[in-house]
Amino acid sequence: MGRQHWKRIWVGSAGNMVEWFDWFVYASFAPYFAGAFFPSGNPTAQLMNTAGIFAVGFFMRPVGGWLLGRVGDRKGRKAALTLTVTLMSASAVLIAVAPTYGVAGYGGALVLLVARLLQGLSVGGEYAASATYLTEASDPRRRGFASSFQYVSMTAGQIAGLGLLILLQHTLSDDALHGYGWRIPFAVGALGAAVVLYLRRSMLETEVYEEDTSRSGERGTLRALWRHRREAFLVVALTMGGTVAYYTYTTYLTKYLSNSAGLSKETATLVSFTALIVFACLQPLAGALSDSVGRRPLLITFAVGSTVLTVPVMALLRHVHGYWSALGLALLALTVVTGYTSINACVKAELFPTGVRALGVALPYALANALFGGTAEYIALWFKKAGAESGFSWYVAGCAAVSLVVYVTMRETKDLDLARVRAVEDAGESSLTPAS
């Protein structure tokens, strides 16, 4: 892989990292600001309120997927990536300055809601633009490896958020963190977004996009996407199990360890921080493996592992008593999830032709995340409040089982030529054209 390819991967990934830093610090710092925007009372109820706003952000992701996916297909991947990071910067600023319940009543929660809607709009387009850019900009023989850096950067953003949380936990008092310290990461995110915006101004467009001239008048339209509705439904189904498992063991894990297992917030945060570092390192290894053995074997391994292991792993996590036992179980779960996260970006991008690739990835993926990923934490807390916390584990396992059926029956996409994946003109004609 040449120097120019590495530069493209770096620029695309750097923005993705900032996007997901801003997205995930909401979840990481929620235990500290949950009481700032809602009346005092049951801590679980306060977390449910903030988790509800977290989920609402996901329901803007399909809108962002449609709007920004259209921009990515019609104006270019660079244009979409620049716009997404601009929106994310604005949302981070809003959260950083949002008034508390004591100052403005539910007005602060309204500002929080508007910011999360903007974040949902931004991330809805960022995922697809980044997935498409990284896949198209890479060596065809190493697409799995290159696109795995999407989840490396996503996880790096979360690691940065958790690292900042650990730093603040050791430098500020608990009262200070609840009072004003939780605003710091959102200010940092806004600054980081400004830096990435500057970097993305000089990024190069992908050759695959620049060389494509087919059906230019319908680039990025819903009409063009409808010709690939089978692939769009496939994206929803293959995302279902992966996104639920991913959010369970990343954004929700820290709360689960502190709110259910009884670990201190500091210990729970350190477990997540360490596990995510290992998780990030696993992504390129698994991506490179998929370039040799194919995408389906990794996806199937993930789905089987999640279906079988989720219930016992979550049960054991609920009864851990210290750092090492919690870390071991978290690493086991995240290693299984790597079979999905490391390659899902390129698998989805490989399904669509250039003129509708960004929209084809963005809209169905965002819909799946709105329905399953964004609601995972809220559903988990709902089961806990209802006194049936183990029901959530069965829900996660069930979602993985549904995706397993899809992985077993789908076509392998490793050897497809992105430049020759073409539009479906006739009913029944496959849009997946293998490389010659």
Name the residue with higher pLDDT: 282 or 434: 282
- Model confidence over 292-332: pLDDT tens digits? 999 999 999 999 999 999 999 999 999 998 999 999 999 99
AA identity, residue 252: Y
pLDDT digits (tens, 9 = 90+) for 262-271: 898 889 988 9
Q: What one-character-per-residue DSSP string does 244-266 give?
A: HHHHHHTTTHHHHHHHTS---HH
Close Cβ partners of 34 (under 8 Å, ≥ 6 residues apart): 43, 46, 47, 49, 50
Residue 233: what pLDDT? 94
CA-closest candidate to residue 25, choices 272, 341, 342: 272
**Which range scores top for mean pLDDT: 30-34, 244-248, 432-436?**
244-248
What's the pLDDT at 214? Answer: 64
- CB-count burial class (<10 Å; 0-12, 13-18, 19+) for 171: exposed
User: Cβ contacts of residue 292 below 8 Å, gap of 6+?
Assistant: none
Strands (E), 322-403: none
Cβ atoms of 400 and 245 within 8 Å: the answer is: yes
User: In this model, does residue 259 exceed pLDDT 80?
Assistant: yes
DSSP-assigned letter for residue 2: -
Encode 270-309: b = buried (16+ Cβ within 10 Å), e = exposed. bbbbbbbeebbebbbebbebbbeebbbebbbbbbbbbbeb
Q: Single out the residue of 180, 189, 172 nearest to residue 23, CA to CA.
A: 189
CA distance 308 to 323: 24
Q: Rounded distance, CA 224 to CA 86, Å?
A: 28
The yes-or-no verdict on residue 1 having pLDDT over 70 is no
| Sign, Cα dihedral of 189, 124, 253, 288 | negative
Q: What is the tens place of the pLDDT at every residue in 116-175?
A: 888 888 888 888 888 888 888 888 888 999 889 988 988 898 888 878 988 998 899 888
Tokens of 400: 């993985």
Residue type, 16: N
Residue 423 clears pLDDT 50, i.e. is over it: no
Quick check: 87 pLDDT over 70? yes
pTM of the model: 0.83
The pLDDT value recorded for residue 435 is: 42
The more confidently predicted of residues 214 and 361 is 361
Looking at residue 337, its pLDDT comes to 97
Question: How many CB atoms within 10 Å of residue 433?
Answer: 14
Lowest mean pLDDT among 197-211, 219-233, 351-365: 197-211
Lowest average pLDDT, out of 10-14, 242-246, 266-270, 352-356, goes to: 10-14
Cα separation of 363 and 251, whole Å?
Answer: 22
Nearest to 348 by CA among 336, 332, 359, 337: 359
| pLDDT in the model for residue 429 | 43
pLDDT in tens, 176-194: 888 888 889 999 998 988 8
Q: What pLDDT does residue 215 have?
A: 57
For residue 241, give the nearest of 189, 304, 316, 179 by alpha carbon.
304
Over its C-alpha atoms, the chain yields an Rg (Å, rounded) of: 21
| Residue for token pair 């219930």 | 311
pLDDT tens track for 23-79: 778 777 877 877 777 666 656 666 666 667 766 777 788 898 899 999 989 888 888
pLDDT of residue 357: 92
| The pLDDT of residue 218 | 76
Q: How far apart are CA 345 and CA 210, in angstroms?
A: 21
Does the structure show a pLDDT above 90 at 2? Answer: no
